[in-house]
Amino acid sequence: KAGVTQTPRYLIKTRGQQVTLSCSPISGHRSVSWYQQTPGQGLQFLFEYFSETQRNKGNFPGRFSGRQFSNSRSEMNVSTLELGDSALYLCASSLDGYTGNEQFFGPGTRLTVL
């Protein structure tokens, strides 16, 4: 079974631009979560989607948004990029989104904002 895939793996943008990151969950998984990893703040939860609905949201500004498609693939979008948005963005999928089910992580997309 293929794991969680994220595209692109690396991205360089400039301040003010917007960016879209993609995540394909493990086949059959319906829950997708996004996390931001930075050296200063560590791993922080962005949001979770289940059956095309955002079910849970972290404490990030509205510039961060996401969506999930009917095939469970998910995208996250960051508008008006800031230098502080430079981070590794990790996506994780789980089977049915119930508490305690293992979340499987992708390799991440490393975003650099210049």
SS3 of residue 84 by DSSP: helix
25 binds other proteins (CB under 8 A): no
The residue among 66 and 106 lying less far from other proteins, judged by its C-beta, is: 106
CB of 16 to other proteins, least distance (A): 28
Q: Residue 27: how many CB atoms within 10 A of its CB?
A: 10
100 binds other proteins (CB under 8 A): yes
Ranges within 51-80 binding other proteins (CB under 8 A)? 55-56, 58
CA distances from 13 to 19, 93, 108 (A): 8, 26, 16
Asked whether the beta carbons of 83 and 74 are under 8 A apart, the reply is no
Tokens of 99: 């508490």
Candidates 14-22, 62-70, 76-84, 106-114: pick the segment binding other proteins (CB under 8 A): 106-114
Q: How far is CA 63 from the centre of its chain?
A: 13
Interface positions with other proteins (CB under 8 A): 4, 31, 33, 35, 42-45, 48, 50, 55-56, 58, 90, 92, 94, 97-108
